[in-house]
Amino acid sequence: MVAELVHTAARHLDNLHEQFTVAAQHAASTLTRAATGKTTINSLGILQNSATQIDILAARRADAVDRLKEALIAYRQVTASEGATTRQMHRPRAAPPTAPAITQPARVTRGR
């Protein structure tokens, strides 16, 4: 159950990272074309909504990193406690302490 949570969090982070990378690369390309004069610059700006989209994706990605870290911490706690329980269940039982040896009292011979 917790492993599935880790898996889902990792996939979500991977998806957000991919979206962030694509948006950032597109913005970088747009800025490069504008800086080299290979495109006309719109009066509304170069990046327009792209900058906001990148900021939102960056924030969502950072949040996804935190969620994955939390899921991993929970997974480690669960597996550590399961491991401790398993070790306790399979721990060899200690041999009972040996009883002290009972020695017969020495016979005292009484004079005849």
**What are 25-71's pLDDT values in tens digits?**
999 999 999 999 998 888 888 998 999 999 999 999 999 999 999 99
Task: Tell me the whole-structure pTM to 2 decimals.
Answer: 0.67
Cα torsion angle, 35, 39, 42, 48, sign: negative
Q: Check residue 32 and give its pLDDT.
A: 96
Q: Check residue 102 and give its pLDDT.
A: 56
Residue in the block written with tokens 């398993």:
86
- Report the chain's mean pLDDT, rounded to a whole number: 85
Please state whether 19 falls in left (phi above 0), alpha (psi between -120 and 50) or beta.
alpha
Q: pLDDT band for position 86 (50/70/90)?
A: low
Mind giving me the DSSP string for 22-91? HHHHHHHHHHHHHHTT-SPPPTT-SSTHHHHHHHHHHHHHHHHHHHHHHHHHHHHHHHHHHHHHHHHHTS
Amino acid in position 28: A
Q: Check residue 69 and give its pLDDT.
A: 97
What percent of the chain has a predicted confidence (pLDDT) above 70? 73
Q: Check residue 72 and give its pLDDT.
A: 96
